[in-house]
Amino acid sequence: MSINWFPGHMNSTRQAIKDRVKAGLDVVIELLDARLPGSSSNPLLAALTTGRPSLKVLNKQDLADAAQTAAWLDFYNAQPHTRAIPLDAGEKTPARALIKACRELAPLRGDIHKPLRVLICGIPNVGKSTLINTLVGKRAAKTGDEPGITKLEQKFVLENGFYLFDTPGMLWPRISIEQSGYNLAASGAIGRNAFDEEEVALELITTLKRRYPEQLQARYGLTELGAEDAVLEAIGLKRGAKVRGGAVQMHKAAEALLIDYRQGLLGRITLETPDEMAAWRREAAEDEARKAAERDAAQAAEKVKRNGRRKASSGEA
């Protein structure tokens, strides 16, 4: 799938993160979408924060499959210097679990003399603003006043010796895994004009048929699940996506399904498992390696051809 989406502010965000690392950083919070905890993660972040301990917050867990959230928590908790917790950003009391996990990741910091400096990051729409509002309440944000720190960085004092930093803009990885693109689009993380809703809805139906068929049937009163486009058409019929004359407008049906999914009306659904994600990553890496090898071979062949032409035109044998 092609995603025509240009991540604005990407370079300034990278720079802001680098500046924060230089100025002092003890823990990185990466906010993930619990419905797609692999695809919503950004591999660049670990590289930029050079191995700082990481807290993965699986947000929107109220929309995700609880058993899958448990599997993803185990997956991330098994990684070195990493801890993972589930969260609903709008909850009244997420602060305690989050602060406790950060303190455990950096036990030597966290008093007034050696404050614990925590950076929060996440892809668009993952719930960062909601979480910060819940954590900070009415407390005012201070903008960066340390030398070398962008004025746009915000600093919140959550409690004595606990500073939360928020960088402007978003980090967005190159989406090299096709299924990640579909899952991100279905979740609402990508602007709607940047992808084909029908294509994304058909992919979503494939996943739902495989993993949550009963929920799909129950939501739309379907007695059976046929091919993807037939299911989408049936959804369109139920959701009033018909034009005059009776035909279903497939893009309207697609839109209806995506809205329902995002609002949790199909129930709690997670789009990917840790094993699937690992397999997709492997396939994407193999694919990249194959393409690079093909590119190299084409360049080498082109060079041989050029040399041949040069020799011929200079009269060499």
Q: Which residues bind ligand GDP (CB under 6 A)?
A: 59-60, 62-63, 88-90, 122, 124-130
Tell how strand 142-143 and strand 154-159 pair up: antiparallel
Residue 88 beta carbon to ligand GDP: minimum distance, rounded to whole angstroms: 4
- C-alpha 125/C-alpha 141 separation (Å) is 21
Q: How far does the chain reach from its first CA to its final CA, in angstroms?
A: 49
Residue with Cβ nearer ligand GDP (13 or 106): 13
Residue with Cβ nearer ligand GDP (187 or 232): 187
Residue with Cβ nearer ligand GDP (87 or 216): 87
- C-alpha 84/C-alpha 98 separation (Å) is 9
Residue 187 beta carbon to ligand GDP: minimum distance, rounded to whole angstroms: 10
Cβ proximity of 65 and 33 under 8 Å: no
What is residue 55's three-state secondary structure? strand
Residue with Cβ nearer ligand GDP (63 or 235): 63
Residue with Cβ nearer ligand GDP (248 or 258): 258
Using a 10 angstrom Cβ sphere, with 0-12 exposed, 13-18 middle and 19 or more buried, the burial of residue 184 is buried
Cα 122 to Cα 6, 35, 58, 89, 312, distances in angstroms: 16, 14, 11, 13, 58
Residue with Cβ nearer ligand GDP (31 or 158): 31
Residue with Cβ nearer ligand GDP (62 or 228): 62
Residue 87 beta carbon to ligand GDP: minimum distance, rounded to whole angstroms: 6
Residue 264 beta carbon to ligand GDP: minimum distance, rounded to whole angstroms: 6
- C-alpha 40/C-alpha 36 separation (Å) is 6
Residue 35 beta carbon to ligand GDP: minimum distance, rounded to whole angstroms: 10
Q: Where are the alpha helices (DSSP H) in the chain?
A: 10-23, 43-48, 66-77, 95-105, 128-136, 178-187, 197-211, 213-220, 228-238, 250-262, 274-313
Residue 139 beta carbon to ligand GDP: minimum distance, rounded to whole angstroms: 17
Residue 22 beta carbon to ligand GDP: minimum distance, rounded to whole angstroms: 25
Cβ proximity of 89 and 59 under 8 Å: yes
> Which of 52, 60, 33 lies closest to 119, judged by CA?
52
Residue 127 beta carbon to ligand GDP: minimum distance, rounded to whole angstroms: 3
Residue with Cβ nearer ligand GDP (35 or 109): 35
Residue with Cβ nearer ligand GDP (36 or 241): 36
Residue 61 beta carbon to ligand GDP: minimum distance, rounded to whole angstroms: 7
Cβ-closest position to ligand GDP: 127
Instruction: Lay out the sheet containing 142-143: strands in order across.
Output: 82-86, 54-59, 27-33, 116-122, 162-166, 154-159, 142-143
- C-alpha 52/C-alpha 66 separation (Å) is 28
- What is the per-residue burial (b if ≥16 Cβ within 10 Å, else e) of 276-290? ebeebeeebeeeeee
